[in-house]
Amino acid sequence: MANKSAPILKNTKISPDAEDGDGDEEIIIPSVPSRFAMLISDEENEDADTDNDEDTTTTISSSSKKKSNKKKVQSSKTKKEDDEIDLLLAAIESTSVSTKKSDNKTNDDEGQDLEDILKEINEKFDEKEAKKDKKKKAKGGVDAKTLSLMKEFQKKREEAILKAVQDEEEEMRLEEAFQKQREEKERAEKEKRDKKKQKEKERIQTKKKEGTYLTKEQREKLERARIQLQAAGIQVPERNTVDNGERPVKKRILYDDRRKKTPGNDTETEKQLGAKEESLKNNGEQESQSSGDESSSEESDQSDSSSEDDDKNQLTPHERVRNRLQRRHENCESRRSLEVLRAPVICVLGHVDTGKTKILDNLRRTHVQDGEAGGITQQIGATNVPLETIRERTKMCRKLISHEGEFIIPGLLIIDTPGHESFRNLRTRGSSLCDLAILVVDLMHGLEPQTLESIKLLTEGETPFIIALNKIDRLYEWKGDNEKNVELVIQEQGPNIQNEFDKRCNDVIVQFAEQGLNVALYYKNPDPNEYYSMVPTSAHTGDGMGSLIAMIIEKCQTTLAKCLSYTDELQVTVMEVKTIGGLGTTIDVILANGHLHVGDTIIVAGQEGPIVTQVRGLLMPESNRESRVRNQYQNYKTIKAARGIKIAAKNLEKSMAGLPLFVGRKEDEVDYFKNEIQNILKTALSSIKLQETGVYVQASTLGSLEALLEFLETSNIPYAGINIGTVHRKDIVRASAQLDRKPQWAVVLAFDVRIERDAQDYADSVGVKIFQADIMYHLFDMFLIHRERFKKEDEEKSRHLAVFPCKLRVLPEFIFNKRGKIICGVIVEDGFVKLGTPICVPSKEFIELGRVVSIELNHKPLDIARKNSEVSITIEPVGNEAPKIFGRDFDETDLLISKISQESFDVVKDHFRGDMQKSDWQLMIELKEIFNIF
């Protein structure tokens, strides 16, 4: 047993003990693995080991009392393991004593046993360490070192956060201080600039008072004069004062003989130079006062810029531009003069086919009307009548012109405005430019509807006008002579013609009096300020045309002289947009005041917003030629009002006519005028109220669009969409929305515009109708035909559903068949009876007799019988209903009425409204109450 429990360690060396006299052998363990160092280090002191084991056992037992049962079990297991290790060590020690007397063979066996013991010790130690690790993991705690590291890390993290907050607060404080310092610096600089500006302004005012202030142009002339004097050999000293705002450079004072001595002729040179400068200054002032349009514009720009410097920091850009334009307006008004007049803008108004265009043709000796659509003027055209033509046409009546027949105006600019009532809005735009109007009245018809409309238009706008009593050649046996004054021509006519003329003329005077206007023949006018003058004319023969022109000249040079004084303030209106071969898209404009130059930046209204472009060419037709007729145009670099001009520029394809044109001299003015045009267009379109169902209207100009919409309103045609310009696919898409609502309104009315090919193809594919015409009445007729055709188709589809109101009384003496098909005579007491009308008896619980299948009067078939008619009708039962019998189901005392329903009422209201009269609608309302239809 002892041999098994005390084997010798592996790799141990056995040597005799030198101190042992008995010769006993001793086992020596020279080396032990490091993991067992704590077990072997105290091998020699067994008592000490035992004491340590007892202390360990005491510690474990004391701690186990405070722990749970589970920990007590674990502590006991640990103690047991330690006891086993102590027993093994004791066995090793006893083995070392017993082996001293053994032989070598016995030593080998015992060494082998000791190896087994140590192996068992190693295994138990490993199990002990593994159990400790497992216990530590199950507990889940951390050791003290790790806990101290975590606390240290947490402390450092809090310190870092605190430091970052302090740094951020410091940075914000520095930034606020820097911002405050910068604001103070800017405030100081602003005060410095204001003081400098005020000082500069005072300096300029002082120079102006002293008369030493020179403009840029005057300084340039002085510089040129100085160079010329230097070239001539005269030394001119440099000027010490500079008018461009720079301070003069002070020269250092010399107190010794280094100062240059002035030659003897220096005094004369300075006198010559002073005289030269004074003369140049005076000449510059005279030239600046007598300069033309460009110099005045430059001066106004300089004044604008000098005034803007004062207001730059106080006003917004919009206010600065508005103030600049106001100053420019005041400057232009101050330079007006009665000695310089512009050509008056004259409008021609009147009823349809009264001879307006023929009068203009006679003035121009041309035939524009022959080239117009249908012989009716459709666009505003402009005609320039030069002074030579005026002199030639008024040679027989110069006495009508004051100032001994002297002509002050340079010519006439006549606008041929359509006289149709439907073109009221377009005519309004013409009258806005109009200085004087010619109201054409047909002598044979007097005042007509469009004439009354024109009178109202002129009186509301306070526009002066002269009446052209046209078509005097229609008087029977009229003998014309266009080489004489029309007053003499009338006096040369026979008594019958004179009597007829006086009678018709008095009728016209009475008609004007009914409108509250006093009129008289121009040669019988007691007071031109109280009475409107009438000039008898004949556009066909030319009688009275010279007198008409003479009255226009007299009116313009006397009463209207102040209004016709020329001003540089621009006033332009776009009349029409055209495409000309070789020029591209151009616009025709009326230049009423001011002047235009090639290269000006113009702003016009466009379909997709304001258009900004530069003028590439200013074109005008030859004199006496109307600008709507294609002819050879002449190019101009500058044109002065009043003129009809064609402007060639880029990006005019989508420009809109009927709106003003502006010229921007500066960049901020361009933005201002763009906003102004948008506001004008927005105001014009906002007044147009669209409906959910209606046609889609497309016109070439804003005026044409408004005129067409006015015409549609008077014709009770609703419109759901509008646009200006060419018809595109998107317009068809908008119009196609009516297909789901009311297909009869899925129509595009294209007035004087072009239709894109893809738009036409898409319209054909979806079923949208496009009606295109150059004359409004043709366009309207085309739509009426479409509406009537559509209406008939709807009537045919819904005719079987329509029930018209009627009240019938049976005539007992005319009962032809009492059973099955009831044939009897009736009298229509109210309403009307038509074929297919269902008949019922309200006094017999609304029993239905059937439908009317025939109506006869005197053996002649009828489709309808009106009130108070006595006719024979045949009533046939409907479907499989049992036939009714006269005398059993109803008799002659019962009233028969048509059986209506809500559906039949709606059909009549929508599709057969034209067949109903007022009394019929009253009966329909009565029947609705009887049948309780609400």
Domain with CATH 2.40.30.10 in the chain: 571-683, 802-930
- For the chain, count helices (H), then strands (E): 25, 31
Report the DSSP pairing between strands 411-416 and 345-350: parallel
CB 347 within 8 A of CB 461: no
The architecture that CATH gives domain 571-683 is: Beta Barrel (2.40)
Specify whether 367 is catalytic.
Answer: no
678 token code pair: 């948008």
Residue 468 CB partners (closer than 8 Å, separation 6+): 359, 438, 439, 440, 441, 534, 535, 537, 544, 548
CA–CA distance from 296 to each of 214, 293, 335, 503, 546 (Å)? 16, 5, 10, 57, 38
Q: What stretch of H or E contains 350?
A: strand 345-350
| Helices marked H in 42-103 | 46-64, 69-98
**pLDDT the model gives residue 627:** 54
Report the DSSP pairing between strands 532-536 and 519-521: parallel
Distance CA 855, CA 876 (A): 12
CB 415 within 8 A of CB 590: yes
Amino acid residing at 642: A
Which fold, 688-798? Rossmann fold (3.40.50)
Torsion of CA 865, 870, 874, 877, to 10 degrees: 80
CB 763 within 8 A of CB 749: no
Tell me the backbone φ, ψ of residue 824, rounded to 5 degrees. Answer: -155, 165
Distance CA 620, CA 639 (A): 9
Site of tokens 């319209």: 763
**pLDDT the model gives residue 351:** 80
Residue 733 CB partners (closer than 8 Å, separation 6+): 762
Site of tokens 């889940």: 140
Distance CA 839, CA 878 (A): 11
Q: What stretch of H or E contains 645?
A: strand 643-649
- Residue-by-residue DSSP string for 359-404: HHHHHHT---GGGSGGGS--S-EEEEEEHHHHHHHTTT-GGGSHHH
Site of tokens 């609703």: 718
Tell me the backbone φ, ψ of residue 549, rounded to 5 degrees. Answer: -65, -40
Helix, coil or strand: residue 474: helix
Do you find a cis peptide bond into 642, omega within 30 degrees of 0? yes
Distance CA 8, CA 118 (A): 9
What length does the chain have? 934
4-19 burial, b if ≥16 CB within 10 A, otherwise e?
ebbbbbeebebeeeee
**pLDDT the model gives residue 597:** 92
Amino acid residing at 64: S
279-309 burial, b if ≥16 CB within 10 A, otherwise e?
ebbeebeeeeeeeeeeebbebbeeebeeebe
Summarize pLDDT for 867-876 with one digit per residue, the tens: 999 999 999 9
Chain centroid to CA 400: how far? 53
Residue 534 CB partners (closer than 8 Å, separation 6+): 441, 466, 467, 468, 469, 505, 508, 519, 520, 521, 522
- Residue-by-residue DSSP string for 298-316: HHHHHHHHHHHHHHTTTS-
Distance CA 363, CA 931 (A): 72
Q: Is domain 345-557 given the CATH code 3.40.50.720 in the classification? A: no
Question: Among residues 518, 527, 418, which one has the least CA distance to residue 459?
Answer: 518
**pLDDT the model gives residue 198:** 86
Amino acid residing at 825: G
Site of tokens 């559903």: 801
Site of tokens 């510059």: 284
Q: What is the DSSP letter of 244?
A: T
Distance CA 621, CA 384 (A): 9
Stretches in the chain below the pLDDT threshold 50: 1-75, 95-108, 110, 240-292, 294-296, 298-299, 306, 310, 367, 375-380, 419-429
Distance CA 598, CA 370 (A): 34
Distance CA 873, CA 824 (A): 6
**pLDDT the model gives residue 290:** 37
Summarize pLDDT for 869-924 with one digit per residue, the tens: 999 999 998 877 888 888 888 888 899 999 999 999 988 888 888 888 899 999 99
Report the interhelical angle of 902-911 vs 776-798 (nearest 10°): 160
16 token code pair: 């005799």
Question: Among residues 819, 821, 807, which one has the least CA distance to residue 877?
Answer: 821
CA atoms within 13 A on the CB side of 601: 12
Which fold, 802-930? Elongation Factor Tu (Ef-tu); domain 3 (2.40.30)
Q: Which residues pair with 519 in a beta bridge?
A: 532
**pLDDT the model gives residue 209:** 73
* The 3-state secondary structure of 608-637, one letter per residue: CCCEEEEEEEEEEECCCCECCCCCCEEEEC
Distance CA 153, CA 76 (A): 39
Site of tokens 């410091």: 170
CB 7 within 8 A of CB 111: yes
User: Active site residue: 351, 420, 595, 911, which one?
Assistant: 420
Q: How far apart are the first and last CA of the chain?
A: 126
246 token code pair: 């720079």
What's the angle, vertex CA 21, arms to CA 17 and CA 23, rounded to 5? 60
Q: How many CB atoms lie within 10 A of CB 641?
A: 24
Question: Among residues 603, 470, 458, 467, which one has the least CA distance to residue 532?
Answer: 467
225 token code pair: 């004069």
Tell me the backbone φ, ψ of residue 272, rounded to 5 degrees. Answer: -60, -45
Domain with CATH 3.40.50.300 in the chain: 345-557
CB 332 within 8 A of CB 569: yes
CA–CA distance from 443 to each of 222, 475, 532, 641 (Å)? 69, 9, 16, 35
Distance CA 926, CA 921 (A): 9
Domain with CATH 3.40.50.10050 in the chain: 688-798
Distance CA 25, CA 651 (A): 127
**pLDDT the model gives residue 689:** 82
**pLDDT the model gives residue 883:** 84
Question: Among residues 480, 464, 457, 451, which one has the least CA distance to residue 354?
Answer: 451
| Dihedral sign for Cα atoms in the order 234, 240, 242, 243 | negative
Tell me the backbone φ, ψ of residue 327, rounded to 5 degrees. Answer: -65, -40
